[in-house]
Structure 1
Amino acid sequence: MDIIQALALAVLQGLTEFLPISSSAHLILLPVISGWEDQGLVFDVAVHVGTLTAVVAFYRHDLYRIINDWLGSLLGRGLTEDAKLAWYVILGTIPVGLVGISLPDPLKEALRSPLVIAGATIVFALLLWVAEKWAREQRSEVTLLDAIIVGLFQAIALIPGTSRSGITITAGLLTGLRREQAARFSFLLSIPVIALAGLLHVIDLAQSSEPVQWDLIVVGASVSAVVAYLTIGWFLKLLEKIGMLPFVYYRLILGAVLFAVFLR
């Protein structure tokens, strides 16, 4: 892997991790278009660390309150709204963890088929369109029921092409959350999910003899962190102005391109 590939993959990961457009669809299409070889497990870990750093940094003030109040609830100091939100994030993470552990490796490999990714990209774009069209946007506070529903939907994101942020925001809109709150809860949910995914990568890495290109690792982690941080802020502002429909159209086009490429 050279510096151009590292930069391109880091920017792509930073952009697509939090936008509702499916990072897996983009990461499978880029090597096909460019003819690049697989970037390797070490680099995957690096860009995951980058995107995790970005979301933690973006919500650092919120996370301080949430964690502080959650610890307070454990010590009997009462259950504030931020403490409830912490419990809801934990609850919402359980389904994807259980399903991820339960999926057999052959099924995981089968789901990585380009045609599965193309189909999921289109199907869940249409579901996002339905959620956007019929969104009531009545509430700003996440409830226990929201956490359960969004958490169950998040488990679907184990199908590559679904988009973790896309499916969780879709679920939030369907439950009646406002766009900004659905996106915020989706991004908070991403913290344990990305951390767990990174941990699994590290475990795999510990069993691998893959050589480490430390200069490219640092570049990948740094660039993906900066791009992801900027993307979160840009996306939240964009939601207020134009909603989710541009991402629906983009996903439909992307899915069609994937089918055209891999059905040849």
Structure 2
Amino acid sequence: MDWLQVAVLSIVQGLTEFLPISSSAHLILVPVLTPWDDQGLAFDVALHLGSLAAVVLYFRHELRRMAVSWAGSLRGGAADEDARLAWWVLLATIPVCVVGFVLHDPIEVGMRSPLIIAAGLIVFGVLLGVADWRRRTGRSEYQLTLKDALLIGGAQVLALIPGTSRSGITITAALLLGMSREGAARFSFLLSIPVIVLASGLEIVGLVGAPQAVDWSTLVVGTLLSGISAFLCIHYFLVFIRRIGMQPFVIYRIVLGLWLLWLFW
């Protein structure tokens, strides 16, 4: 890979991993609009690890409190709001892990069509817009219930459909349950941690089974660029939605979906 390809793919991954606009749609567009060859599985893993490092670094204080409180609850202590949030993140991850493991191959083979991605962008973009327009009670991630967590976790399964956007569908579900925009986004970002860990683990298993030459310089640069862009994306996204809301992302999704339909119909 040349360095321009490394930079573009890294920044696209870092931004779209957390914005509600579908990373799969954008990563499909890159080879369509450029002459670049596939970047390979090792580079994909590096980009995901960069995104993972960014979200862990950004929420490091919350994660530390959650880990300590969660461990205390396992030892029989009272579950405070941090322990409950940790439990909700873990429980909400189970549905997508089970369904993703069972349907991984059919999804990868049969649902990577640009037309499916376009439909996912438009349909779930409209749903995000509806959720954002609804009246909200303003609950934060610390005010979620077990039922809320399971419903959001169930909605996360829909992210296995390319074009849906994992962050987009979880934020949509949280908004429909009455959470504030910022609370919905923060819970979605926390949910991304176990999902990225498990997805990267599966990719690493694939790498072990198919050894190949590794260009460590591109992997290191890709990880750094993906991590930096993801960290900045998280910070400014939370500021942006507090002031403006989700509608710009809704419009962008619909326009991108219509463009994909025009390109591939």
Aligned to 1:179: 181
Shift of 1:133: 1.2
1:147-158 matches, cutoff 5 A: 147-158=149-160
Aligned to 1:242: 244
The answer as to 2:93 corresponding to 1:93 is yes
Shift of 1:101: 1.1
CA separation of 1:114/1:151 partners in 2, compared to 1, >3 Å: closer, same or farther?
same
Aligned to 2:234: 232
- Superposed CA deviations along residues 193-238 of structure 1, whole A, max 9, x for unmatched, are 0000000000001111332111000010000000000000000000
Shift of 1:87: 0.5
- Superposed CA deviations along residues 11-67 of structure 1, whole A, max 9, x for unmatched, are 000010000000000000111001211100000000000000000000000000000
- Superposed CA deviations along residues 174-195 of structure 1, whole A, max 9, x for unmatched, are 0001111111100000000000
* CA distance in 2 between partners of 1:180 and 1:135 (Å): 14
- Superposed CA deviations along residues 90-110 of structure 1, whole A, max 9, x for unmatched, are 110000001001116234311
Q: Is residue 31–residue 38 contact of structure 1 (8 Å, CA) maintained in 2?
A: yes
Q: Is residue 14–residue 224 contact of structure 1 (8 Å, CA) maintained in 2?
A: yes
Aligned to 1:169: 171
Query: Structure 1: which 4+ aligned runs deviate by more than 3 Å?
Result: none
Amino acid at match of 1:51: S
Unpaired segments ≥5 residues, structure 1: none
Aligned to 2:202: 200
Q: Is residue 128–residue 250 contact of structure 2 (8 Å, CA) maintained in 1?
A: yes
Amino acid at match of 2:248: P
Aligned to 1:134: 134
1:106-117 matches, cutoff 5 A: 106-117=106-117
SS at match of 1:212: coil
Shift of 1:142: 1.4
- What CA RMSD, in Å, does the superposition of the two structures yield over aligned residues? 0.9
Q: Is residue 137–residue 179 contact of structure 1 (8 Å, CA) maintained in 2?
A: no
Unpaired segments ≥5 residues, structure 2: none
1:27-42 matches, cutoff 5 A: 27-42=27-42
TM-score normalised by L of structure 1: 0.98
Q: Is residue 137–residue 173 contact of structure 1 (8 Å, CA) maintained in 2?
A: no
* CA distance in 2 between partners of 1:39 and 1:111 (Å): 20
* CA distance in 1 between partners of 2:69 and 2:191 (Å): 17
Give % identity: 56
Amino acid at match of 2:73: S
* CA distance in 2 between partners of 1:137 and 1:158 (Å): 29
1:214-225 matches, cutoff 5 A: 214-225=216-227
SS at match of 1:211: coil
CA separation of 1:104/1:187 partners in 2, compared to 1, >3 Å: closer, same or farther?
closer
